[in-house]
Amino acid sequence: MLIDVSPYAFKIGPIAVHWYGIFMAISFLVGSYYLYTMGRKLRLDEDFLLNLAMIVIISGVIGARLMFVLTNYPEWFLKDPVQVLKIWEGGLSWHGALLGGFLAGWPYCRRHGVNPNMIADWTVLGLSFGYIIVRIGNIFNQEVLGRMTEFSFGRWPAQLIGSFIGLILLIRFLYLQTKKLPPGYQFWSFIWYHQILRALIEETVRDNPLFLIHYVNDHWGIGFLTLTQLITPFVVAFAYYMYKSTGGYGYGGYRRNWY
């Protein structure tokens, strides 16, 4: 436990509103508003933008929950299916959210003749901001805990480390918005950098189950390999492939890489 706080923002009779849910809703609103604003600047159809935001959010939440349950509590599908629906208690997979949103949003854009890479770039602000505040929501739910160390601070503040990664990526996004970049560069490079930073830093100090290689240093409070660390090479390779498929051109039309 990092700090002793209540997971509830307030209660109205039997209805309890979780901080986690509030932060999640705020991230949806911020991301959707930015996407809508950018789309209207280019005179994209308002109904298309609103429908797209709703489709991506719903699909992302479904994907996030299903992936979390599948990789952590697959027995819930048969023994306690109601528990699968309790997303307000936390338990969402970042990768599941991305996959769900991608599988729904990408073809929707193509069907309406809109470049999905351009739309994907506009989601980076919401993804970065969401990662910052949802990790704070994890503190209230007492989840995404760091490993114990032998240092004076005890447990690694894995949630705050995750929030810091989100902040770095948000600042990077805002800076790159001042540059001329090809459609898709912002999104796919965000996925690339986020996955590497999370695997190398956040997951290393996070108290997650280990697979294949079970290495734990109790003094430093680090461990390898978590499931996220195992799939990182595949996610990074896919993001790089998708970026290259956009043409891989950067400022002023010159080919560039991410380094």
For 36-88, how does the pLDDT look when each residue is reduced to its tens digit (9 = 90+)? 999 999 999 999 999 999 999 999 999 999 998 888 888 888 888 888 888 76
Q: Distances from the Cα of 144 to the Cαs of 135, 136, 248, in angstroms? A: 8, 10, 35
Say if residue 135 carries a ligand binding annotation: yes
Phi, psi of 255 (to 5 degrees): -65, 140
Q: Is the pLDDT of residue 207 over 60?
A: yes
What's this model's pTM, rounded to 2 decimal places? 0.88
Do strands 215-217 and 222-224 pair parallel, antiparallel, or not at all (unpaired)? antiparallel
Instruction: Choose the weakest-confidence range: 42-46, 153-157, 162-166, 244-248.
Output: 244-248
The rounded mean pLDDT for the chain is: 90
pLDDT at 80: 86
Instruction: Tell which residue, 56, 133, 116, 66, has the closest CA to residue 95.
Output: 66
**pLDDT tens track for 78-134:** 888 888 888 766 678 899 999 999 999 999 999 999 999 999 999 999 999 999 999
pLDDT value at position 5?
A: 84
pLDDT of residue 79: 85
135-143: average pLDDT: 91
User: Cα 139 to the chain's mean position, in Å?
Assistant: 16
Q: What is the mean pLDDT of residues 194-203?
A: 97
How far is C-alpha 254 from the chain's CA centre? 30
Q: Is the predicted pLDDT of residue 143 greater than 70, yes or no?
A: yes
Query: Domain residues of the chain, as ranges?
Result: 8-253
CA-CA distance, 243 to 8, in Å (whole number)?
A: 41
Report pLDDT for 3. Answer: 65
Peptide bond connecting 225 to the previous residue in cis, omega within 30 degrees of 0: yes
Who has greater pLDDT, 6 or 195?
Answer: 195
User: pLDDT at position 249, please?
Assistant: 39
Spell 194-217 as b/e; 16+ CB within 10 A means b: bbbbbbeebbbbbbbeeeeeeeee
